[in-house]
A = this chain, B = another copy of it.
Amino acid sequence: MKKLDIRKAFTYLEEGPIILVGVNDGKKNNLMAISWTMVLDFSGRFALCTGDWNESFKTLMKTKECTLNIPPVSLLEKVVKIGDCDGSKVDKFKEFKLTALKGKKTSAPLVKECLASFECRVEKYLSEESILILQVVAAYENEEIQDRREIHAIGDGTFVIDGEKRDLRSLMKDKIPEGL
């Protein structure tokens, strides 16, 4: 995977895709599928809504690190199955034939088959709201994946895939962060 400017990481999250969150508890890797995410600024700061209903949450809070991985449409079935099985019983990387790559800043696994992957550190957890605040510390893109459409969960078991793109840069020049 190729290095990506951290300031561009938000362009993979702003459109609201379902993502895979990777953790490592020192013994094994785990993955969870999450749709409840939010961009917080242009520096690679993100919020996730998660809590102890997610198996990976304990590891996340203990290690204070994770990866966010953006799956392409070709992984849709695997993403759903990852969200529907228990990482304490299954090695999800093995079960779903995904490749865990080592990051440079954390011990959490990057998913090679994803469009982009971000190594993150936990900044804080707002327990009353179940909101986790993350800061990206390294970002990568897998440019070899041809079909770059992302997956969006509706929440009722159906999903919508990225369709046509529209360029309206000319209407909002003053709102686009520098370098994008």
Chain A residues with a Cβ under 8 A of chain B: 10-11, 14-17, 35-41, 47, 49, 76-77, 80-81, 83-84, 126, 129-131, 133, 149-150, 152-177, 180
* Nearest Cβ on chain B to A5's Cβ, whole angstroms: 12
Bound CA span A80–B173, Å: 11
List chain B residues, Cβ under 8 A from A16.
14-17, 35, 37, 152
Main secondary structure of the interface of A (DSSP, over half): mixed
Q: CB-nearest residue of chain B relative to A10? A: B155
Q: CB-nearest residue of chain B relative to A175? A: B84
Q: How many copies of this kind of chain does the complex include?
A: 2
Bound CA span A130–B175, Å: 19
Identify 7 new A-B residue pairs, CB closer than 8 A, beyond the known A41-B49, A157-B171: A14-B35, A14-B36, A16-B152, A157-B167, A159-B166, A162-B163, A163-B164
Q: Report whether A47 and B39 are in contact in the complex, using a CB–CB cutoff of 8 Å.
A: no
Q: Report whether A14 and B155 are in contact in the complex, using a CB–CB cutoff of 8 Å.
A: yes
From B36, B126, B165, B167, give the contact of A126 (CB < 8 A). Answer: B126
Bound CA span A134–B38, Å: 14
Q: Report whether B156 and A84 are in contact in the complex, using a CB–CB cutoff of 8 Å.
A: no
Q: A38-B37, A47-B49, A152-B15 are in contact. Are A161 and B164 (CB under 8 A)?
A: yes
From B10, B156, B165, B171, give the contact of A160 (CB < 8 A). Answer: B165
Bound CA span A110–B164, Å: 28
Q: CB-nearest residue of chain B relative to A164? A: B161
Q: A49-B39, A129-B40 are in contact. Are A169 and B156 (CB under 8 A)?
A: yes
From B39, B49, B154, B156, give the contact of A36 (CB < 8 A). Answer: B39
